[in-house]
Amino acid sequence: MSVVLVTGAAGNIGSFIADQLIEQGHFVVIVDNFYNAKLDNIREHLHRGAAALEVCDIANYRTLQRVFAKWKPEYVSHQASMMIMDSREFPFDAIDVNIKGTFHVIQAAVEHGVRRMTFASSASVFGNPRYVPVDEEHPFDNQTLYGATKIAQEALYRSWAFRHQIPWCGFRYYNTYSERQGMGAFYTQVFQKWILLIDKGEPIQIYGDGQQTMDLIHSEDCARANVAAMFREDVANELFNVGTGIETSLNELKEMLFRKMGKSVPVEYLPDDEHLVRRRQCSTKKIRQMLGFAPRVSLEEGIERYIHHMRATD
């Protein structure tokens, strides 16, 4: 059994990482400030003694350093982050958490002898793609502060973690979703909004013509990618795209929801949002070849789980 510290482990992706690590017999130190997380995501693990909770803001280095000193983790998965919309609204906080906080996590790992790290980056580093499917060599063309902080995160791992000889793997998540996510997701918040409105029989809104696409990947699969890399000593200092390689348009998504929910509602098409990326589709070649990773949760299954969860907790 290893001690694994997971930042953001009460959140959308981090909680699935905790699930999978605990299932493999590891002890998880959950570091979260509950900015965009739910205690229900981890409650059972805490009750069983399979994990410990440290309420901590990674922007506060002294507090974080004490957590590392207390638990002496062998591995770290860094998932804590400000989201896209919050980064736009609170830019100073985004810099503090996403950039300074990432440096704090790496530095604490350096000081306390962590063996290996994984971390969350984002497809936002690419911006509007010049070609699809987007591979890992696609140039950065980000136009959001959130994407800029993710580019900076990657640079910190390439430099500071590399300098101190801590092997790492980073994951550029595409459009992540799950029944555990909060409302901070810029693109996939449509799941929650649309399901609620459809159940009420109220119109849903789409910005643009609905032809813009997402590469929808369930958070459980994003977690699986992290866990696959965590203990693979033959794969180090690599960045991977994490998606399905399948484009789904907003029009296709709403039709799928109508079908799964057994009802349809009017659709209001609004002027396009200039901040939206028009197409998202990633190449899965590298992660498939190097980690043997392939998503397991289909969009059909993921939507069914999402609808069931929202109706059960309504």
Task: Report pLDDT for 276.
Answer: 81
Q: Is the pLDDT of residue 186 over 60?
A: no
Count of helices and strands (H, E) across the chain: 13, 13
> Which tokens belong to 77?
């998965």
Q: What are phi and psi of 129, to 5 degrees?
A: -70, 145
Question: Given pLDDT bands bounded at 50, 70 and 90, which one contains residue 273?
Answer: confident
Look up the pTM and report it.
Answer: 0.96
With H, G, I as helix, E, B as strand and everything else as coil, classify residue 48. helix
Average pLDDT for residues 302-307, to the nearest whole number? 96
Task: Report pLDDT for 189.
Answer: 79
Report how far residue 46's alpha carbon sits from residue 49's, in angstroms, rounded to the nearest whole number.
5
Q: What is the pLDDT of residues 103-149, one digit of tens each?
A: 999 999 999 999 999 999 999 999 999 999 999 999 999 999 999 99
- ∠282-288-292 over CA atoms, to 5°? 150
CA distances from 296 to 10, 220, 243, 300 (A): 22, 9, 11, 11
Give the DSSP letter of residue 14: H
Q: 161 and 14, same structural domain?
A: yes
Q: Is the pLDDT of residue 75 over 60?
A: yes
**DSSP H helices in the chain:** 14-23, 43-48, 61-71, 84-89, 91-94, 101-111, 145-156, 162-163, 190-200, 219-230, 250-261, 285-291, 299-313
Q: 107 and 87, same structural domain?
A: yes
Q: 309 and 239, same structural domain?
A: no
Average pLDDT for residues 59-75, to the nearest whole number? 99
Instruction: Please check whether residue 51 lies inside any domain of the structure.
Output: yes
Report how far residue 183's alpha carbon sits from residue 85's, in angstroms, rounded to the nearest whole number.
10
Nearest by Cα to 41 from 79, 3, 72: 79
Task: Report pLDDT for 147.
Answer: 97
With H, G, I as helix, E, B as strand and everything else as coil, classify residue 267. strand
Q: Is the pLDDT of residue 183 over 90?
A: no
**Which residue would you say has higher pLDDT here, 136 or 84?**
136
Here the CATH number for the domain that contains residue 77 is 3.40.50.720
Q: What is the pLDDT of residues 199-235, one digit of tens each?
A: 999 999 999 999 999 999 999 999 999 999 999 999 9
Q: 81 and 204, same structural domain?
A: no
Q: 91 and 227, same structural domain?
A: yes
- Domain, as residue range, for 224: 3-177+216-244+282-296
Question: Given pLDDT bands bounded at 50, 70 and 90, which one contains residue 274?
Answer: confident
Average pLDDT for residues 276-300, to the nearest whole number? 97
Task: Report pLDDT for 3.
Answer: 99
Q: 227 and 131, same structural domain?
A: yes
The number of domains in the chain is: 2
> Which tokens belong to 251?
């029009």
Which distant-in-sequence residues (6+ apart) come within 8 Å of 281 by Cβ?
A: 129, 132, 133, 134, 213, 215, 243, 245, 246, 247
Q: 265 and 236, same structural domain?
A: no
Q: 166 and 25, same structural domain?
A: yes
Report how far residue 85's alpha carbon sits from residue 37's, in angstroms, rounded to the nearest whole number.
16
Q: Is the pLDDT of residue 187 over 80?
A: no
Q: 33 and 154, same structural domain?
A: yes
Q: 96 and 162, same structural domain?
A: yes
Q: Is the pLDDT of residue 177 over 70?
A: yes
Task: Report pLDDT for 36.
Answer: 87
Instruction: Please check whether residue 183 lies inside any domain of the structure.
Output: no
Instruction: Please check whether residue 228 lies inside any domain of the structure.
Output: yes
Instruction: Please check whether residue 40 lies inside any domain of the structure.
Output: yes
Task: Report pLDDT for 56.
Answer: 97
Q: Is the pLDDT of residue 184 over 80?
A: no
Q: What is the pLDDT of residues 228-256, one digit of tens each?
A: 999 999 999 999 999 999 999 999 999 99
Give the DSSP letter of residue 215: -
- ∠292-15-97 over CA atoms, to 5°? 100
Match 């929650």 to its residue by tokens. Answer: 192
Average pLDDT for residues 142-167, to the nearest whole number? 97
**Which residue would you say has higher pLDDT here, 169 or 188?**
169
